[in-house]
Structure 1
Amino acid sequence: MIIFPLLVPGYGGNQIDAKLHKTSTPSVYCSKDSDWFNLWLNLEQIVPLVVNCWVDNIKLYYDNVTKTTHNTPGVETRVPGWGDPEVVHWIDPSHNMNGAYFIDIGNLLISRGYDSKKNIRGAPYDFRKAPSKCCKCLSTENLTLKSASISLDENRQYFIDLKELVEATYETNDRIPITFIAHSMGSPMILVFLQQQTSEWKEKYIARVISLAGAWAGSVKALKVYAMGDDLDSFLLSGKVLREEQISNPSTAWLLPSPLFWGGNEVLVTTPKRTYTMGQLEQFFNDLDFRNGWEMRKNAMRYVLNFNAPGVELHCIYGDRVPTVEKLIYEKDDITGETPTLLMGLGDGTVNRRSLRACKYWSGYQTANISNVVFSGVNHMDILKNKKVLNYITRIMQI
C-alpha cells in the first residue's frame, strides 16, 4: 500500500526569499534595492564581510502593542515553493551540500517509485515565527498537562493552507491518507495543527506522523541562543553577530524549555551570586536587557502548555547520548554581553533527552499507536540521513 508523505521542516528547514527597497543599510557593502533573491539559505551572504547585511534583511522586529513581528523596513519576504518538496529537500537552491535537508528521505522515496511532482509534498513556512497569542503572564506554578482551547495568530494562514494541501493531496492520490514526516520544530508545529482538527477529519485524512528529532518540549539550546547566539557550526562566523537575528524570532522563544517538563525550581543558569530557575526566566531576560524575548515567550505559552495528544498514529524517532547543552554557567554576575560556559547533558546535540522523549506522555491519552524508537549516537541533523533511520522509515511506510 502506497502512503503519501508530506514533509514538514523544522527551524531553518526551508528556503526564504527576499526583495529589497530600503532607504538605509548597516554597511556600504549592503544593497538597498533588489528583485527577489534567496535569503535563506544563502551561503554567499553569510560570510564575514556582508553578514551584517544578511542579518538586517532577515531579522524581525517585535511590536509589543500588536504582539506581532515585521521585517526590517524595506524588506519583503516570502516562502517559495508551497507544496513542492524541492524547497525542503534543499534549503540552499544551489544544492550546496551544506544546504541538504530532506533530500536523503526524498531520494529514498523516489527510488521506491514516488513522484516528487505528485505524491511527495512539502509544507514550508516562515520558521522565524511561531504560534502565538497575546495573553497575560502565566505562572509556572501548579501547571498540568491540560489546557484550554487555543487560537492561532501569525501562523494562522499556514495552518489553513496546510489543511487544504492535505485534502488536495488526498484527493489526487486515490483518497489515501497522508503521512506527515516532520523534523525538529516541525513536530510541535504539526501537533498544534492536529490539535485544531476534529477526530473525524484526522481519521479520514491522516495515516500517521513520523517525527524525527521532535523538539516537543523545547530545548535549553534556545536559552543558549539568547545568551550567546549560534555560529551555525562555522568557524568563520560569530554567534554573537548572528544572535541579533536569532533572538528576534518568536520561534526561538517558543522553543525554550517547557515548564511541563522542566520543574519550576530547576536551575538553568548560574552566576557567582545567583541562579535562574525555570520559573525565573523573566528575570533572566530582564538581566540580558532583552525584555522582548520574554514578551514573545508569553505569547507562545498557551501553545507550550497545550500538550494534548495528536490523536493519530505516531512514530517518535530520535537520537540520544550526544552531548547537549543543559545549563549555562556565567563567571560574572552581570550577564549582559558575557559568554557563558555550557554544561552538557544528554540528548541529540540540539534537543534535550526529556524533550525528545516527551511524546511518551501521550501513550495513555490516545487509542492510536505511539512508537518510540531511539538511535544512540545519532545527532539532530544526521537523523535525516542515517541509514538505520531511513530503513526504519521504509518499514513504516511499507515501501
Structure 2
Amino acid sequence: MSASAVSTFLAGMLMLVVLPECWSQKETGDEQYSPILLEKRFHNKNGVYVKPKEDLPGIEYLDSNKEIPLLKPFVDYYVNNLGYKRGKSIRGSTYDWRRGANEIKKSTGFFPRTKYIIEDMYTKNGNRSLTLVCFSMGCPVTHHLLTRTGLTQEWKDKHIHAYVTVVGAWAGGVHFLQAVSSGTAADTLLGKLENLGSSIKNVLGTYLSYLERSFEGLYWLMPRTPIWNDEVLVSTPSGDYTAKQYEQMFKDFGKGFEHSYAKFTTAISTGADFPAPNVRTYCLYSLGVDTPEHLEYTKAEIRGQTPIITMGDGDGVINAKNAEVCLQWKNMKNHKFVSYVCRGLQHNNICGTDLYPYIGKIVKIPQSETNSEMNKKKMKFDESVALLEAIGEKFRSSEVTVQEEIVHILEKLID
C-alpha cells in the first residue's frame, strides 16, 4: 500500500534489565581514559562487550521482557494502517547511545551497517527509495551518516526519499550539560522510588551521576559553539560559564572532573557544524514547554548538588535554539525543506499518535517527486526557458503572450 519503504533510525536502547553490570563495569573502569593518550578513545573495560539489540526489537521495547514499550506504537501504526511489513519495508538501525558520533563511527560499525540496511531495503522493495525517520539523538547521528561518511549525492538521490527529523538534539542542550555536571538520572529514576531511604538515594544518586559522566554521548550533546556562544549556561561561586569556557568550568568543578574537558573535545572532534544533508528534509520539533536554560550551583562542590534551574522555551529537554538548528537548511538547493512545530508536546511524548499520520503523508509522497527527478525537471525547465528567450528575441512583438503561457505551463510541471 505504501509508496516507499521506511527506515527508522532511532536511539538503540541498551537492555537496562539485562545488562546493568555491563554499564557498571564500563563505569568502574573509568573508561580506561587518559588525556595523555595519543588517540583519546572511550571504550568498555577489558572483557566487557555491549551490543545494542538490533533492528525493530531494539527500538520497540526498552527491556527484553517487553514490558516497557518505546516505539512499538509507532511501528504498529505503519504496519497496521499503511501496510508496512516488519523486517522488509520498515526496519530499525540501533546504536549504543552511550557513545557520540566519534566513537559510533570508529568502533561500532553502525554507519556501514546502516548503509547496508538502506541498500538492502531499496533492493528488496522494488528499488524504492527510503524515508529515514529519526528521533532525538538519532537525528544528529543520522545527519552524520548523510554528511560525514562519504555518501555521494548520486547515492543519496537514488536511495533516500526523505529525511524526517523528530525533536532532533542537534547542537546540544542544557539538560545534557546538567547530566554531565551533577546528573539527571537520580532525579528521574530515584524520584519515583518513594520507599527508598534518603541515605540510599544519596549513594545511588552519586553513583548514577558518576555513571552519566562516563557517557561520551552526553558530552557530544552538551551546548556547543557556534550555535551557543555568549549565553551564560552555568553559574557557581567560582564564576559564570558559557559554551566557550568549558575548560575553565570543569577545572573549577574540581575532583571528579579532571578528564571532563578532554572527553568533551574528543566527543565533538567529528565537527560542530551542520552542513545541509542535501535530501528532501522534514524537521519536526516542539516548543512551549519549560526547558532548562541556565544552571546555578550555590556551592563550590558540584557533585551531588541539585542546581537552581532557570527555564526557557523548548520541549522539556531540547532548547528552542537547539531545536531550530535544522532551519538553516531551508534554502537547500534543489531539495525541499519543511519545518513543522508542535506546541506543548513534551520531548518524551513527541512520538504520540498525532504525528503518525503527518509522517505517513511524507512517506506516501509519489516517488516521481524524488530529488533526482526534481533536479531533472528543473534542468529541463531552465533549458526550455533559455530556448523561449532566444525565440522571443526574434518574435518579440508577436510571441510574448505565447511565451508567457508556455512558461506558466512549465512552472506548473515542476511545482
Query: For residues 221-300 of structure 1, what are the structure 2 equivalents within 5 Å?
Result: 221-231=175-185, 233-234=188-189, 235=191, 236=193, 238-263=204-229, 265-289=230-254, 290-300=257-267
CA contact (8 A) 2:295 2:308 kept: yes
Q: Determine if the alignment matches structure 1 residue 7 to structure 2 residue 8.
A: yes
Q: Deviations over 1:193-212 (max 9, x none)?
A: 10131110100011111111
In structure 2, the CA distance between the partners of 1:62 and 1:370, relative to structure 1 (3 Å rule), is: farther
Of the three residues 127, 134, 143, the one matched with 2:97 is 127
Cα distance, 1:240 vs. partner?
3.2
**d(CA) in 2 for partners of 1:153, 1:239:** 31
Q: Determine if the alignment matches structure 1 residue 214 to structure 2 residue 168.
A: yes
Q: Deviations over 1:120-160 (max 9, x none)?
A: 11101111111228xxxxxxxxxxxxxxxxx94335x2111
Report which stretch shifted further, 300-309 or 374-383.
300-309
TM-score (norm 1): 0.80
Q: Determine if the alignment matches structure 1 residue 93 to structure 2 residue 64.
A: yes
CA contact (8 A) 1:55 1:242 kept: no
Q: Determine if the alignment matches structure 1 residue 76 to structure 2 residue 49.
A: yes
Q: Please state whether the residue corresponding to 1:355 is helix, strand or coil.
A: helix
Q: Deviations over 1:272-308 (max 9, x none)?
A: 4511122111112222331322112212334342311
Cα distance, 1:58 vs. partner?
5.0
Cα distance, 1:68 vs. partner?
1.2
Cα distance, 1:247 vs. partner?
1.3
The amino acid that maps onto 1:76 is Y
Q: Please state whether the residue corresponding to 2:260 is helix, strand or coil.
A: helix
Q: Determine if the alignment matches structure 1 residue 109 to structure 2 residue 78.
A: yes
CA contact (8 A) 1:130 1:154 kept: no
In structure 2, the CA distance between the partners of 1:123 and 1:323, relative to structure 1 (3 Å rule), is: same
The amino acid that maps onto 1:5 is V
Alignment correspondent of 1:18: none
In structure 2, the CA distance between the partners of 1:172 and 1:86, relative to structure 1 (3 Å rule), is: same
In structure 2, the CA distance between the partners of 1:89 and 1:58, relative to structure 1 (3 Å rule), is: farther
Q: Determine if the alignment matches structure 1 residue 63 to structure 2 residue 33.
A: yes
Of the three residues 130, 155, 166, the one matched with 1:201 is 155
- Could you list the structure 1 runs, at least 4 aligned residues long, displaced by more than 4 angstroms after superposition: none
| RMSD (Å) for aligned C-alpha atoms | 2.2
Alignment correspondent of 2:295: 328
Q: Please state whether the residue corresponding to 2:100 is helix, strand or coil.
A: coil
**d(CA) in 1 for partners of 2:303, 2:111:** 37
Q: Deviations over 1:346-396 (max 9, x none)?
A: 111111111111100111244311111111011111111x22211211222
CA contact (8 A) 1:14 1:87 kept: yes
Q: Please state whether the residue corresponding to 2:122 is helix, strand or coil.
A: helix
Of the three residues 157, 160, 169, the one matched with 2:112 is 160
**d(CA) in 2 for partners of 1:219, 1:304:** 17
Q: Please state whether the residue corresponding to 1:78 is helix, strand or coil.
A: coil
**d(CA) in 1 for partners of 2:336, 2:269:** 26
Alignment correspondent of 1:394: 360
**d(CA) in 1 for partners of 2:281, 2:158:** 16
The amino acid that maps onto 2:74 is I
**d(CA) in 1 for partners of 2:302, 2:97:** 28
Bigger radius of gyration: 2
CA contact (8 A) 2:59 2:70 kept: yes
Alignment correspondent of 1:361: 328
Alignment correspondent of 1:41: 16
Q: Deviations over 1:164-210 (max 9, x none)?
A: 11111111110101111100010000111101311101000111111
Alignment correspondent of 1:35: none
In structure 2, the CA distance between the partners of 1:300 and 1:45, relative to structure 1 (3 Å rule), is: closer
The amino acid that maps onto 2:347 is H
Q: Please state whether the residue corresponding to 1:132 is helix, strand or coil.
A: helix
CA contact (8 A) 1:129 1:154 kept: no
**d(CA) in 2 for partners of 1:375, 1:72:** 42
CA contact (8 A) 1:222 1:253 kept: yes
The amino acid that maps onto 1:91 is L
**d(CA) in 2 for partners of 1:161, 1:54:** 23
Query: For residues 15-30 of structure 1, what are the structure 2 equivalents within 5 Å?
Result: 15=14
**d(CA) in 1 for partners of 2:135, 2:3:** 21
The amino acid that maps onto 1:86 is P
In structure 2, the CA distance between the partners of 1:75 and 1:45, relative to structure 1 (3 Å rule), is: closer
TM-score (norm 2): 0.77
The amino acid that maps onto 2:7 is L
**d(CA) in 1 for partners of 2:238, 2:214:** 29
Q: Determine if the alignment matches structure 1 residue 192 to structure 2 residue 136.
A: no
In structure 2, the CA distance between the partners of 1:178 and 1:364, relative to structure 1 (3 Å rule), is: same
**d(CA) in 1 for partners of 2:44, 2:74:** 33
Aligned residues: 342
Cα distance, 1:45 vs. partner?
7.8
In structure 2, the CA distance between the partners of 1:382 and 1:193, relative to structure 1 (3 Å rule), is: same
**d(CA) in 2 for partners of 1:170, 1:302:** 32
Cα distance, 1:75 vs. partner?
2.4
Q: Deviations over 1:2-45 (max 9, x none)?
A: 221111123xx423xxxxxxxxxxxxxxxxxxxxxxxx231x88
Q: Please state whether the residue corresponding to 2:43 is helix, strand or coil.
A: strand
The gaps in structure 2 that reach 5 residues or longer are: 194-200, 366-415
Cα distance, 1:80 vs. partner?
2.6
Alignment correspondent of 1:49: none
**d(CA) in 2 for partners of 1:45, 1:249:** 16
Report which stretch shifted further, 245-254 or 226-235.
226-235
